[in-house]
Copies of this chain bind each other. A is one copy, B any other.
């Protein structure tokens, strides 16, 4: 069906209008102006023709087949129009009209009706409250959209949840003189989804890079599955907006979704291998490079410059983006020496000087292309009036043709004067930019993509020693009793079932049992009161640490008395020696899975907010990545001669937690706090698990 949406052989417009300034007129104008190769059928019961094209009173009056229909009539007539489309055998309908889910109430009801009608007839819906699609393919030229930007033909395909954002991005490529392959903005997305479109473009040979704008994801799972598959084949550059709470509120009032600060979407992007952006201009400029250049195989950049200051800026920017500017190899230095001006710098950056000519640039480029220590080439090229910049550009084009390594150019020129130099560069496919920062960021984005796709993320380990039945029973007990919070013994039983190492523990119903349990565990012990009504034990002095043999009985008796109303049980635990306190948490993100959080406990989390987030399922690679990416990681790996902790044990807990919450998605929140880590193991000392209401 995506094939029909983007390559329709005929398009009808229900609501075609003779009024120049209406959408029902503009869609037809756009199709005609863009040179649409198929047939156009205006549907208008009152007019004989629209923009000189014969109009029909009803879609049913059209004799030929109709692939695609635009509906641009008031919301309440839409379901009826879909019914007509069904009778006619239409395959895809774009509903441009607004007044659906985004206004709630009656609108949402109309949207459901439209979806139902479409399903009945096997019609796929695009929209409503949307712009539509564009396909620049010479054989298609479909501008099924009412907006104003007419893109040139190219290799970038754009899908945007917000039409406004999509238009801004599309417009920017136009301004940059860079072509677009296909465009889509599906508004409320009641049926055809962004993942479906991405999947389609994943198989479209002429799409080299996919640009995605997201405000909210109705089905993150579908998105992840598709994105992971496509991103492995070709770059997906994406931007999620509404990140701040204020921005999220704006999304919410705009789309009717729920407002909350969203960190999961960008984590998900990363997990799938999507290159994430927080700036449209940066995204567009990067897309330009992705559209023509090969992906760098590593982080090492070779620079060539004919001016000092901007090369310094490029250097700052590249280094701050995590790229390296390594020295040239001895071989490279030897090759290049003698081929440049005497005062030129044969180092990295290579400074060929303002008077450097085509031969100098060529020698420098060849050297970098052959240097195995260099992964990509950054040209910093000002056009002095006293050198032949056209022949320099020609040499650049020649080298680029070989396609050995990606080339990016910061071109400092007056575009009105150096027209031929620009023409040559443009024809070559070397992306060129007006600022060293912009060029550097584009190269950094390409390098980021390489790092994402060459990660050995692996697949999640499936631990087969877990006892899922036992775990299920614990959750079921709580659920049966209408509790969201699991009791301490349920929590620890659940952890045991998934072989998540904990401090030794036993339960006791009374002081005598507690004493017996403590004897079995060994002294000193920790005593915790356990009753469903007591959530924050430490707030009510329901925990006693470091309890010796002679005190157990008294402590439990005292607790028993104090909490008599709660009918408490008791948890007797091994009192763990001092170690590094770790926090591991999981929080359900509907549709995505669970957000996993890792950090050092106490001030590191609470004051310094030094935590790392991930998304389930967590692989061994990702678990290690979580542990090493907190700033306080040094404290774990052995600071000031201290023994490091057992990071493998922590990584295993992370993976087992991931498996547990994946097996039981109804665990809404899980906090292991603290986990105490030692040189040879890591043990959960306290934990809380909350399950979602059914």
Give chain A's interface residues, CB within 8 Å of chain B.
Answer: 21-23, 26, 103, 146, 148-149, 160-168, 171-172, 174-175, 213, 215, 241-247, 250-251, 253-255, 278-281, 307-313, 315-316, 319-320, 325, 343, 345, 347, 349, 382-383, 385-386, 412-415, 417, 434-438, 603, 606-610, 631-632, 634-635, 639
Contacts and interface: CB of A to CB of B under 8 A. Distances in A.
Contacts of A310: 162, 164-165, 168
A273 B246 CA distance: 29
Nearest to A417: B148
A167 B325 CA distance: 25
A316 B607 contact: no
Given A246-B325, A312-B254, A280 B168 contact: no
A608 B607 contact: no
A395 B478 CA distance: 64
Residue from A148, A345, A631 with most neighbouring chain B CB atoms (10 Å):
A148
Contacts of A343: 103
Contacts of A166: 309
Given A103-B343, A309-B164, A386-B21, A247 B414 contact: no
A312 B162 contact: yes
Contacts of A632: 603, 607-608
Q: Which of A244, A279, A313, A345 has the most CB of B within 10 A?
A: A313
A56 B81 CA distance: 86
Q: How many chain copies does the complex carry?
A: 2
A21 B385 contact: yes
B215 A23 contact: no
A608 B280 CA distance: 32
A661 to B, nearest CB: 29
Nearest to A412: B168
Kindly list the 3 A-B residue pairs having the minimum CB-CB distance in the complex, ordered from nearest: A162-B309, A164-B307, A247-B316
Nearest to A174: B414
Given A281-B438, A603-B639, 9 more contacts: A23-B386, A163-B307, A167-B382, A172-B434, A246-B316, A246-B325, A247-B312, A253-B347, A280-B313
Contacts of A215: 309, 312
A166 B412 CA distance: 11
A603 B635 contact: yes
A163 B241 contact: no
Contacts of A255: 308
17 contacts: A22-B386, A26-B385, A146-B385, A148-B413, A162-B309, A162-B312, A163-B307, A163-B309, A165-B310, A171-B412, A172-B434, A174-B414, A242-B312, A244-B315, A253-B345, A603-B639, A609-B631
Nearest to A634: B607
Given A21-B385, A164-B308, A308-B162, A316 B242 contact: yes
Given A103-B343, A247-B319, A607-B639, A309 B21 contact: no
A435 B385 contact: no
B279 A437 contact: yes
Nearest to A303: B250
A168 B163 CA distance: 34
Given A21-B386, A607-B639, A160 B280 contact: no
Nearest to A309: B162
B244 A412 contact: no
B160 A309 contact: yes
B435 A309 contact: no
A429 to B, nearest CB: 23
Nearest to A243: B316
A312 B386 contact: no
Contacts of A347: 253
A332 to B, nearest CB: 18
Contacts of A307: 162-164
Given A434-B171, A631-B608, A165 B309 contact: yes
Contacts of A167: 382, 412
A383 B148 CA distance: 9
Contacts of A245: 319
A399 B242 CA distance: 30
A319 B415 contact: no
Given A103-B343, A254-B308, A315-B250, A320 B163 contact: no
A346 B639 CA distance: 56
Find the residue from A23, A213, A311, A635 having the highest chain B CB count within 10 A: A311
A241 B309 contact: yes
Given A434-B172, A639-B603, A213 B309 contact: yes
A580 to B, nearest CB: 12
A632 B609 CA distance: 10
A485 B104 CA distance: 74
A437 B609 CA distance: 27
A110 B146 CA distance: 67
Nearest to A353: B98
Contacts of A278: 316
Contacts of A26: 385-386
A438 B320 CA distance: 21
A302 to B, nearest CB: 13
B382 A175 contact: no
Nearest to A253: B345
Nearest to A610: B608
A380 B20 CA distance: 25
Given A247-B319, A385-B148, A608-B631, A414 B309 contact: no
A623 to B, nearest CB: 21
Contact of A319 (B246, B312, B386): B246
A37 to B, nearest CB: 23
Contacts of A251: 312
A382 B148 CA distance: 11
A166 to B, nearest CB: 8
Contacts of A250: 308, 311-312, 315, 349
A414 B149 contact: yes
